Amino acid sequence: MKVIKYLGKRLLYIIPQLFGVVVIAFFAVRKIPGDPARIMAGALVDEAGVEQIRERIGLSGTLFEQFKTYFGNLLHGDFGNSWVTGNPVIEDIKARLPATLQLVILALIISLFVMVPLGLKSITSAKGPGGKIIKKTLSGYGMAAGAFPDFWLALILIFVFYVKLGIAPSPTGQIDLALSLPAQITGFSLIDSLIIGDIPAFMSILSRHIIPVFVLAFVYGGGILKVALTSATSTQKSEFINYAKINGVKSNYLQKYISKASRPSVATFTAVNFGYMLGGTALVESVFSWGGFGQYAIQSVVNSDFTAIQGVVLISAVLNLVVYMLVDIIYMYIDPRITEIG
């Protein structure tokens, strides 16, 4: 009941937030240089022909008339058609979004369930000069990781593991060119290939996820690790931990206390990091010819595909709002001090 009550309250905020996103996205993309109608028509079409194209793609009339038409269609679930692909924008996004979410989710799993536990364990277990070196190394990585351009790191890894060593697959998409992606069931190719029992496709897809997932986890997971280390270090110096040490509480129990105290901070930063990671996939996807949501966003901007850009911005906003809601709900279970959300 608490969750339902919270969701009801949050909807009161989400609706105006999404409306604001729609308004800003609509009018902002109109400031992008270039006339899509002229781009579509080419240099040989006269102004009358360009005007016909402009009317066909919904760019005739004043900006407020265009917005009224667009918003009315949006209320009926019509995001418009892409001027580049010719498909409904929502269908393009449905086809491409799972590929991007798969990268983001796997990178977050590595960050949360591999990097963070190792970092927390290094604080509570390591002692002496060696322990200090490990702690400083992890802290330095947490600060420096965000300075690495994700696309640059991806190119370096491709050069080393594909060009020089020949042990990584070619950066030519989500699956080997001799194979085809499984039919969409859940939309996540790794899961779909397992559901239909296509093991060769699964192994090919999995192998092509290794480098891009590592890049995202390394670059964006560093901030999560830094937050976890900072929170854990602060908790380790707290009075209740010192009291527990005086009473002879074993180190493995202390580690559990410190880990629990760090969870709210990690959850908060992970929600924020999700948005950065979702945007960060754009360049990484371009490097690997991934054909996902991020690459679709770049293509839309390059081609001045207004309806596609607006759809990308709106879906990105929805995803971030959903993640923030989930984190608020998770707070009730990981932080005993919180008895109510909203």
- 56 assigned to some structural domain: no
Domain that holds residue 111: 96-305
The sign of the CA dihedral 240, 241, 246, 250 is positive
pLDDT tens column, 91-130: 999 999 999 999 999 999 998 888 788 777 766 665 555 6
Highest mean pLDDT: which range of 8-12, 183-187, 214-218: 214-218
Residue 122 lies in a domain: yes
Say whether 88 sits in a helix, a strand or coil. Answer: strand
Confidence of residue 38 (pLDDT cuts 50, 70, 90): confident
CATH code for the domain in which residue 210 is found = 1.10.3720
340 domain residue, yes or no = no
Higher-confidence position of 321 and 55: 321
70 pLDDT more than 90: no
Query: Do the domain assignments include residue 171?
Result: yes
- Convert 132-152 to b/e letters by CB count within 10 Å (16 or more is b): eebbeebbebbeebeeeebbe
**pLDDT over 90 at 62, yes or no:** no
In a domain, 214, yes or no: yes
Count of structural domains within the chain: 1
Say whether pLDDT at 262 is over 90.
no
Residue-wise pLDDT for 177-214, tens only, equals 888 889 888 889 999 999 999 999 999 999 999 999 99
